[in-house]
């Protein structure tokens, strides 16, 4: 059909319904019979109708609120990058009467996560962006959101058995598989592998680590089934305790020269290596924290896997606003690239301008 600017009255006349019915269909306000709604949507398809989104934002009386549930962060850490992406999306959505607020919890702290889930129930929200931590507690939260018809999206980690509007983040198993594949390129006969962990593998707080480990170990078990693999559990906060742990480990395991870290703290191992002069043949970790990048450039870290946290936060908020405000379709899964960074290409890397 010839392209032109159609008014609500034009669409109502073509569909044989009232202008009020068209308005309710366009803004998803309900109180429209199935037959009338079908007539309006058929006309909209025929004329390839695209509403003026800026005009909708200016004219809408409703104000929208998106709540973002993420861990507390410090400057330049992983979650700081997520928050920057969220804030960028918030600035773009401000003209459309969309407000974005944060609720914070302490990562791997079950009580803190439960508290923020309880707080969310007391808040008014049109949509929720969640960086999930504990699986069962997250499912309880999403059951509540679904009972209230509040759409939600996940970033960083996906819990498939829920009914999230979308997931935006890496394929965690695949990233673990790739981490093993690039690390084991350096493997020689007789060498041993160290998995540097912040908690035991069974810890319910480590749902992200567990999925990365699944992918990592699937490669190891297939390609290097006889490889000796050691777990070393480090303290998140106590560098001196980590020094003692690593001193004892390397004294008794001289052939353990390949290492993998499955979170943002590869710098903990790298700082020990720099301070003691100890060397690993190869060390892989996650995320482009400033300290991680410094150790990549100085050689203690061999590879970093980037997952574009700022873009995750940005796309998460935009997806929710597309669904709630602009009534656009949203893709159920948007995987982030699995970026493999080495010191030769790190200076050319950026998420988005």
Angstrom distance (rounded) from CA 77 to CA 339: 18
* Tokens at 239, concatenated: 């560098």
Please list the alpha-helical segments (H only) found in 70-171: 78-93, 110-122, 135-147
Q: What is residue 44's predicted lDDT score, i.e. its pLDDT?
A: 82
pLDDT for the residue numbered 249: 97
DSSP, collapsed to helix, strand or coil, labels residue 127 as strand
Q: Which residue has the tokens 């401000």?
A: 94
Q: Please, are residues 264 and 286 in contact by the beta-carbon 8 Å criterion?
A: yes
Q: Which pTM value belongs to this model?
A: 0.81
Counting every residue, how long is the chain? 353
Taking only the tens place, the pLDDT of each residue in 273-313 is 999 999 999 999 999 999 999 999 999 999 999 999 999 99
C-alpha to C-alpha distance for 27 and 45, rounded to whole angstroms: 16
Q: What would the 3-class secondary structure string for 180-232 be?
A: HHHHHHHCCCCCEEEEEECCCCCCCCCHHHHHHHHHHHHHHHHHCCCCCEEEE
Residue 15, pLDDT score: 86
Question: Are 266 and 236 spatial neighbours (Cβ–Cβ below 8 Å)?
Answer: no
Residue that is written with structure tokens 């009020």 in the block: 20
The dihedral built from the CA positions of residue 91, 162, 287 and 270, taken in this order, carries a sign that is positive
d(CA 187, CA 52): 58
Residue pLDDT tens, the chain, 353 long: 444 667 788 888 888 888 888 878 876 666 788 888 888 888 888 877 766 655 555 545 689 999 999 999 988 889 999 999 999 999 999 989 999 999 999 998 999 999 999 999 999 999 999 999 999 999 999 999 999 999 999 999 999 999 999 999 999 999 999 999 999 998 999 999 999 998 888 888 788 999 999 999 999 999 999 999 999 999 888 899 999 999 999 999 999 999 999 999 999 999 999 999 999 999 999 999 999 999 999 999 999 999 999 999 999 999 999 999 999 899 999 999 999 999 999 999 987 65
H helix count then E strand count, the chain: 13, 12
DSSP run (H or E) holding 333: strand 333-335
Give me the sign of the Cα torsion angle 113, 318, 263, 170. Answer: positive
Helix (H, G, I), strand (E, B) or coil at 308: coil
Residue ranges of domains in the chain, CATH in brackets: 8-50 (no CATH), 64-170+309-337 (3.40.50.2300), 172-306 (3.40.50.2300)
Residue with tokens 């025929």: 46
pLDDT digits (tens, 9 = 90+) for 25-67: 876 666 788 888 888 888 888 877 766 655 555 545 689 999 9
Which long-range contacts (C-beta less than 8 Å, at least 24 apart) are formed by 40-43?
Answer: 40/11, 40/15, 42/15, 43/11, 43/14, 43/15
Burial of residue 245 (CB within 10 Å: 0-12, 13-18, 19+) is middle
Q: What SS3 class is residue 270?
A: helix
């Amino acid at each position: 059909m010839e392209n032109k600017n159609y008014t609500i009255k034009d669409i109502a006349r073509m569909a044989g319904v009232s202008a009020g019915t068209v308005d309710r269909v366009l803004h998803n306000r309900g109180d429209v019979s199935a037959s009338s709604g079908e007539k309006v949507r058929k006309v909209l398809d025929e004329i390839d109708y695209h509403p003026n989104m800026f005009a909708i934002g200016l004219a809408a009386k409703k104000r929208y609120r998106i709540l973002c549930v993420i861990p507390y962060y410090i400057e330049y850490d992983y979650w700081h990058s997520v928050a920057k992406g969220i804030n960028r999306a918030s600035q773009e959505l401000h003209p459309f009467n969309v407000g974005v607020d944060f609720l914070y919890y302490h990562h791997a702290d079950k009580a803190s996560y439960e508290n923020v889930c309880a707080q969310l129930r007391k808040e008014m929200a049109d949509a929720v962006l969640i960086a999930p931590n504990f699986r069962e507690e997250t499912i309880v939260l999403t059951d509540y959101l679904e009972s209230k018809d509040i759409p939600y999206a996940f970033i960083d980690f996906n819990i498939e058995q829920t009914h999230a509007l979308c997931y935006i983040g890496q394929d965690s198993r695949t990233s673990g598989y790739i981490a093993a594949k690039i690390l084991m390129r350096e493997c020689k006969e007789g060498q041993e592998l160290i998995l540097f962990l912040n908690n035991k593998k069974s810890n319910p707080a480590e749902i992200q680590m567990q999925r990365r480990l699944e992918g990592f170990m699937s490669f190891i078990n297939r390609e290097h089934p006889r490889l000796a693999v050691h777990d070393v559990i480090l303290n998140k906060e106590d560098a001196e305790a980590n020094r003692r742990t690593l001193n004892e480990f390397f004294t008794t395991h001289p052939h353990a020269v390949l290492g993998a870290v499955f979170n943002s703290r590869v710098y903990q191992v790298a700082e020990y290596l720099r301070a003691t002069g100890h060397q690993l043949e190869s060390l892989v970790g996650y995320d482009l924290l400033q300290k991680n990048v410094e150790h990549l450039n100085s050689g203690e870290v061999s590879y970093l896997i980037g997952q574009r946290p700022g873009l995750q936060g940005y796309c998460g908020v935009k997806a929710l606003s597309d669904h709630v405000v602009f009534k656009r379709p949203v893709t159920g899964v948007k995987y982030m690239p699995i970026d493999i960074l080495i010191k030769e290409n790190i200076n050319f890397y950026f998420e988005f301008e």
